[in-house]
Structure 1
């Protein structure tokens, strides 16, 4: 009979838990894309929101584009939660080849940091809204659209804060 040797994985160093305020910041960041996504889907579905959709295939292909943009944007926003959840420190076991392995801190910090910078570059200069753009709504519909897009201004700075906190926690 052959004696099987049990090999235990090397224990990763203990990582402190994120503070409550960091978890809250990550949750808020994950939700910042939701209002604009809903607005975009409503527009794509052909419901009048004040935006001129003349010449666009509404409802049709443009609807699918609006839905896809909204889903991808929200999925990217939800990745912020990985900076405060266990799956941001150890890959989930169901992922082939890398499941159960420790996430290298820079593998999360670099894309999250770049994402935060890109988000701020894309959103902050446009903080005044889309008033005056060709086909843009005016009056109350413009106010509604700007209110739906305003939370995106928080996504970049919140992602930056959560990323710095993740880096500080994971520094060994």
Structure 2
């Protein structure tokens, strides 16, 4: 009679320190930071007035038409990407080896910093501001997209915590 054991899985989980509370909270905050802009984009794709005239929606964003799929798809992809840091603080499911996941997380952190910087440039260009029909719409847009700028900092902190925990395990 062969007895199956889960000792290696239990041993690997036990040898890695759990994620600190601040890292878990930061990972959840990342997921929440993507929600307002995603809802704003979905509202735009659904025809809810978000500050753009019908002509701008049609000519610039392709709404109605292919732009709906693009805007909704962008919202879904952004939220899925924002859920990625939860893998770094979870002890339940690891789709990749810790070193691979750490390398992927550092790459994601770097990309997020670059994207945030590029979005700042886009946000403050004259062309992007002329599409909005009012100052109120620009203010709402600013509040909705502002949480996205916290993601690079939070992601870098969560990644650092993950790498530190797994580097310590490798030395032990």
TM-score (norm 1): 0.80
Alignment of 1:23-102 (within 5 A): 23-51=24-52, 52-55=56-59, 56-88=61-93, 90-91=94-95
- Which runs of 5 or more structure 2 residues have no equivalent in the other structure? none
Alignment partner for residue 163 of structure 1, among 130, 153, 159?
159
Check conservation: 1:109, 1:166, Cα contact below 8 A. yes
RCO higher in structure (CA 8 A, sep ≥6): 2
Q: Decide which structure has greater helix share.
A: 2
Alignment partner for residue 133 of structure 1, among 127, 130, 134?
127
TM superposition shift of 1:27: 0.7
Cα RMSD for the two superposed structures: 2.0
Q: Secondary structure at the match of 2:109?
A: helix
- Equivalent residue, structure 2, for 1:144: 140
Q: How far apart, CA to CA, are the structure 2 residues paired with 1:154 and 1:50? A: 24
- Equivalent residue, structure 2, for 1:109: 102
Q: How far apart, CA to CA, are the structure 2 residues paired with 1:61 and 1:150? A: 26
Check conservation: 1:26, 1:162, Cα contact below 8 A. yes
Check conservation: 1:131, 1:142, Cα contact below 8 A. no
Check conservation: 1:33, 1:73, Cα contact below 8 A. yes
TM-score (norm 2): 0.80
Aligned residues: 157
TM superposition shift of 1:7: 4.7
Check conservation: 1:32, 1:155, Cα contact below 8 A. yes
